[in-house]
Each structure stands twice: as structure tokens, then as C-alpha cells.
């Protein structure tokens, strides 16, 4: 391991050309998100659809599955920091991140294929096998996700570089999500006609997505090069986890706020296909809405670096939150007008794209804050709070979505005509009313408690540079500036 900041680990020596290194890290890291977000979306957004519309589980079974999803996701989320410590303590010739990225990707792909396999079971045995496969899926997701995003702060300290890497990563992720969401209904319908079974159609889609994920993860493994390490890495013991996380107050405020935001957003996306099938009354319009979602997210992410430079992150966060709130209000009032629903989608998903990227940047900057405050650098433990956010919010959203399907009558309905006005109102309040409240509370919490703006972050990085210079016996003017690659 190197003993001074700015150098690469054994996973690959940084290029002597800083521009080449930046290009490799930006695209190598970004492209890896394309397939992995397809896998994550297939389960987070469509597992309930598969279980209720394809497997056709009963209300009783759905109730048990909903409880299982909530409990297992919360339990797994709590375990994320443990995996973060394991990654931070790893020392191999390939570095500490890449071995776990590879192991996680392969096992995650296998679990995804198993998830959508036809086991030929029902009743209690179906639940037992489902729980086992889902547990494997969650563990594999944890291994890959924490090591993957834990690498982001190690690719550069410069905020502009991080925003560039993060923007490309989120664009690639959005492309993957866009392709899956838009193509799922027509592709599974076409495959069902060829194969004669909806289960076989979903299995083929899951297998294809798993292969795509592995292919793009290989790009990340081969292309990326770590640029930042601690001057003197400190091993993280399990008993240190609490102090590393609790001591980083800025990380905790980001986590709390983003759990609120992502819970609301995930409720909306989880219920999307049901909305167009049973409330709007035309399931084919879901693909149109998904296309609006994908294009809007990609455009928003491409615009983020320019918006951040022009207005600063705090103002961008306010504007993005306002767009989400207005989008939800317009969506609720849209009725059966697809034009108005499309306008609502543009507002909602543009704001969401900005906020999710800001979340990644806030967590990345919390790495330096934790190093500055606590005297130790823990990329993976810090970034373990990102999958915690997704899993905790997914758990809460799954509970809300499952309960909504039961209370609104959607789970037992066969068409839109089976849904009463009261049931439709319950559904719309859950899909649009509850999320808008959570989005507003999320902004308020960050506005009052998060302090790592651009100026404060620059001060912290400068102080870390001085400390590292003293620790290595170098003068500060001999150190590469934050984010630059040492020759």
C-alpha cells in the first residue's frame, strides 16, 4: 500500500497523464453502474409486480412477503457498515475495493437469476425458498454496492472531478434503468407469446440483465485506478464502527434526510405500473411515462455540473426539491390527462435526478470530513450509508406499497373497473401525497443541519493536506493539489 496521498493502490498505478487517469476513472466507474442499476431496479421496482401479476400470490402470502421484505431490508441495511469495515481492512495486490466488487457482482447475478426462476412451489415452501433466495440477493448486493461506491472518494478529492464522475455514473445508471423500465412490459409480453409462459419471459429478462451487469462491472475492474489513500491507513475494528459513523455528524444528517426522500420516491416508482393499469386504466401508457422518466433524468444529470457551478449545491438542492413538490401536486391533480402527467413527470424526475446526485456528493465529501474530525479515512464504512439509505427506504416503501395494494383493492382486482373511488383515492394519496411530505421534510433537515458547503469543504481538504505533509515529512507545496494525480 502507498504511504502518501494521491497515489494509486496495487490495483493499478495511476497514469503519468492526469487527463488519461481522469478519463479512465470517469468512464470506467460510470459505465459500471449501467448494468448494476438494471439489476437493482428489476427487484426494487418490479419484484412485487412479478409476485402479484405473474406468480399471482394471495393477499395472505403478499402480506407475509411484504413483512419479510421490510424486516430483511432493514436488517441488511444495519449490517452494511460491517461490510464497509471488511472492505476498508482489505489489503490485496488488486487493492481493497476490486476483489469485493467482483465477488459481489458474480453472486448478485446468480441470485437475480434464481429470484425469477420457476421453483414449482407454492404455500409455505414457496415462502421458505423465497426468503432464502432474497437473503442471498441482499447479501450479494451489499458486497458489491459498498465496495463499488466506497471506491468513489478514492478516485479523486477534487469536488469538480467527483461531480463529473458522479454525473456520468448517474447518467449511465439512468440509461440502464430507462432501458429496463421502458422495455420490460413489451419485452416480457413478446417473450410470453414466444415461450408460452409469463414466468419464462421474466426469467429470460432476469438472465439477460444479469449478464449485462457482469459485462459492465468488468469494465470498472479493468479501467479504474485509485488516486487517494490515507497517509497511514488505520485498521477498522468492529467496535470502531459506531464511533466512525456516530462521530461523523454530517454523514448522519445526510443519511436521515435521504432516507426520507428516497422512501417517498420509491413509493411512487413501486406503484407506477399499478397506477397506469388500475387507476389510469391503460397499462401501455406506463412505457410512455417511463420514457419521460428516463429522458428527464439523463438530461437533468447532464446539466448538473453546470447548475452546480452556477448556483452552488445548496441552491440547486432547493430548486430540485421545489420541482419535486410541484411535480407531485400536478400529478395528483392530473386526472386522465397524459399531457399533464407528462409535465408532472418532467418536474418530478428532474428534481429527483439532481437530489440523488447531490446525495452521492454529500456522502463523498463526508469521507474527508470524517478523516478530518476523527483522524481516520473510512471510504467504505462512510459509503455503506448509501446502500443503507436505499435499503432502509426500500424497506419502508415496500411496506407502504404492499399495504396500499391491499387497502386499495388493487391486489385482488383484475381491471381498473374493479377499483372503487375510495380505493383509487387511497392509492393516489399513498403514491403522491405521502411522498411530497417526505420530500419537503428531507429538504428541511438538510437545510438546517448540513454544513459541508463548497467553502467549508475546501478548508477541510487544505487542512488535511497540511497534516499529510507533516506526517510524510513533505512540505505542503510538494504535495499534489487535492484531486490531482501524483506522477
Q: Where is average pLDDT lowest: 275-279, 300-304, 319-323?
A: 300-304
Render 143-188 in DSSP notation, one character per residue: HHHHHHHHTHHHH-S-HHHHHHHHHHHHHHHHHHHHHHHHHHHHHH
Q: Kindly report, residue by residue over 151-175, the tens digit of the pLDDT.
A: 888 888 787 888 888 888 888 988 8
What integer best gives the mean pLDDT of the chain? 85
Q: Kindly report, residue by residue over 427-457, the tens digit of the pLDDT.
A: 999 999 999 999 999 999 999 999 998 889 9
Instruction: Round to whole Å and give the CA distance between 46 and 133.
Output: 16
pLDDT at 415 (0 to 100): 87
Q: Are 361 and 249 in contact (CB under 8 A)?
A: no
Q: Are 141 and 122 in contact (CB under 8 A)?
A: no
- Residue 331: pLDDT band with limits 50, 70, 90: very high
Give residues with Cβ within 8 angstroms of 275, minimum separation 6.
286, 427, 431
Instruction: Round to whole Å and give the CA distance between 298 and 172.
Output: 8
pLDDT at 234 (0 to 100): 61
> What is residue 95's three-state secondary structure?
coil
Give the residue among 112, 53, 487 at the shortest CA–CA distance from 277: 53
CA atoms within 13 A on the CB side of 268: 29
Q: Are 401 and 45 in contact (CB under 8 A)?
A: no
Q: Are 378 and 244 in contact (CB under 8 A)?
A: yes
DSSP type of residue 433: I
Instruction: Round to whole Å and give the CA distance between 166 and 364.
Output: 10
Highest mean predicted confidence (pLDDT) among 1-15, 315-329, 362-376, 471-485: 315-329
Give residues with Cβ within 8 angstroms of 417, minimum separation 6.
none
Instruction: Round to whole Å and give the CA distance between 141 and 178.
Output: 20
Q: Are 360 and 166 in contact (CB under 8 A)?
A: yes
- Residue 317: pLDDT band with limits 50, 70, 90: very high
Give domain limits for the chain.
18-458
Q: Kindly report, residue by residue over 228-255, the tens digit of the pLDDT.
A: 665 555 666 666 777 788 889 999 999 9
Q: Kindly report, residue by residue over 173-203, the tens digit of the pLDDT.
A: 888 988 898 888 889 999 999 998 999 999 9
DSSP type of residue 3: S
pLDDT at 407 (0 to 100): 92
CATH number of 18-458: 1.20.1250.20
Instruction: Round to whole Å and give the CA distance between 226 and 312.
Output: 27
Q: Are 328 and 431 in contact (CB under 8 A)?
A: no
Q: Are 162 and 152 in contact (CB under 8 A)?
A: yes
How buried is residue 320: exposed, middle or buried, by Cβ count under 10 Å (0-12/13-18/19+)?
A: buried
Instruction: Round to whole Å and give the CA distance between 417 and 153.
Output: 51
Residue 475 has pLDDT above 50, yes or no: no
pLDDT at 153 (0 to 100): 82
CA atoms within 13 A on the CB side of 378: 31
> What is residue 137's three-state secondary structure?
helix
How far does Cα 4 stand from its chain's mean position? Answer: 31
Share of the chain above pLDDT 90, in %: 39
Q: Are 8 and 14 in contact (CB under 8 A)?
A: yes
pLDDT at 9 (0 to 100): 43
Residue 484 has pLDDT above 70, yes or no: no
Give the residue among 256, 263, 248, 259 at the shortest CA–CA distance from 375: 248
Q: Kindly report, residue by residue over 400-425, the tens digit of the pLDDT.
A: 998 999 899 998 888 888 999 999 99
> What is residue 357's three-state secondary structure?
helix
Q: Which helix (H) or strand (E) holds 256?
A: helix 249-270
> What is residue 103's three-state secondary structure?
helix
Q: Kindly report, residue by residue over 350-369, the tens digit of the pLDDT.
A: 999 899 889 888 988 998 99
Amino acid at each position: 500500500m502507498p504511504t502518501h496521498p494521491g497515489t494509486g493502490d496495487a490495483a493499478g498505478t495511476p497514469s503519468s497523464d492526469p487527463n488519461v487517469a481522469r478519463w479512465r476513472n470517469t468512464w470506467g466507474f460510470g459505465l459500471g453502474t449501467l448494468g448494476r442499476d438494471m439489476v437493482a431496479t428489476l427487484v426494487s421496482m418490479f419484484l412485487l409486480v412479478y409476485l402479484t401479476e405473474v406468480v399471482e400470490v394471495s393477499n395472505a402470502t403478499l402480506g407475509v412477503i411484504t413483512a419479510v421484505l421490510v424486516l430483511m431490508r432493514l436488517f441488511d441495511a444495519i449490517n452494511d457498515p460491517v461490510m464497509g469495515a471488511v472492505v476498508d481492512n482489505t489489503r490485496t495486490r488488486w487493492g481493497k475495493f476490486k476483489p469485493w466488487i467482483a465477488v459481489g457482482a458474480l453472486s448478485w447475478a446468480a441470485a437475480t437469476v434464481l429470484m425469477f426462476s420457476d421453483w414449482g412451489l407454492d404455500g409455505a415452501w414457496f415462502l421458505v425458498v423465497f426468503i432464502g433466495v432474497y437473503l442471498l440477493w441482499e447479501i450479494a448486493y451489499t458486497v458489491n454496492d459498498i465496495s463499488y461506491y466506497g471506491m468513489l472518494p478514492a478516485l479523486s478529492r477534487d469536488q469538480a472531478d467527483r461531480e463529473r464522475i458522479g454525473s456520468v455514473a448517474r447518467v449511465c445508471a439512468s440509461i440502464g434503468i430507462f432501458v429496463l423500465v421502458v422495455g420490460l412490459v413489451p419485452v416480457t409480453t413478446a417473450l410470453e407469446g414466444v415461450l408460452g409462459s409469463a414466468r419464462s419471459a421474466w426469467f429470460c429478462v432476469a438472465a439477460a440483465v444479469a449478464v449485462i451487469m457482469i459485462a459492465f462491472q468488468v469494465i470498472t475492474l479493468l479501467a479504474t485506478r485509485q488516486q487517494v489513500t490515507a497517509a497511514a491507513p488505520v485498521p477498522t475494528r468492529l467496535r470502531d464502527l459506531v464511533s466512525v459513523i456516530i462521530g461523523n455528524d454530517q454523514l448522519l444528517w445526510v443519511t436521515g434526510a435521504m432516507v426520507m426522500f428516497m422512501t417517498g420516491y420509491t413509493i411512487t416508482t413501486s406503484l407506477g405500473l399499478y397506477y397506469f393499469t388500475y387507476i389510469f386504466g391503460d397499462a401501455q401508457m406506463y412505457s410512455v411515462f417511463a420514457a419521460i422518466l428516463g429522458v428527464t433524468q439523463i438530461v437533468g444529470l447532464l446539466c448538473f455540473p453546470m447548475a452546480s457551478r452556477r448556483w452552488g449545491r445548496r441552491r440547486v438542492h432547493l430548486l430540485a426539491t421545489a420541482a419535486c413538490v410541484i411535480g407531485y401536486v400536478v400529478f395528483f391533480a392530473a386526472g386522465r390527462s397524459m399531457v399533464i402527467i407528462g409535465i408532472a413527470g418532467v418536474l418530478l424526475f428532474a428534481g429527483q435526478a439532481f437530489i440523488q446526485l447531490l446525495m452521492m456528493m454529500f456522502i463523498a465529501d463526508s469521507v474527508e470530513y470524517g478523516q478530518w474530525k476523527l483522524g481516520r479515512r473510512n471510504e467504505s464504512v462512510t459509503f455503506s450509508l448509501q446502500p443503507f439509505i436505499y435499503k432502509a427506504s426500500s424497506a419502508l416503501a415496500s411496506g407502504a406499497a404492499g399495504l396500499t395494494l391491499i387497502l386499495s383493492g388493487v391486489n385482488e382486482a383484475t381491471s381498473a373497473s374493479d377499483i372503487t373511488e375510495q380505493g383509487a383515492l387511497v392509492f393516489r394519496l399513498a403514491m403522491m401525497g405521502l411522498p411530497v411530505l417526505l420530500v419537503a421534510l428531507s429538504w428541511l433537515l438538510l437545510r438546517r443541519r448540513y454544513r459541508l458547503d463548497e467553502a467549508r469543504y475546501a478548508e477541510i481538504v487544505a487542512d488535511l493536506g497540511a497534516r499529510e505533509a507533516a506526517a510524510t515529512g513533505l512540505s505542503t507545496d510538494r504535495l499534489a493539489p487535492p484531486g490531482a494525480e501524483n506522477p
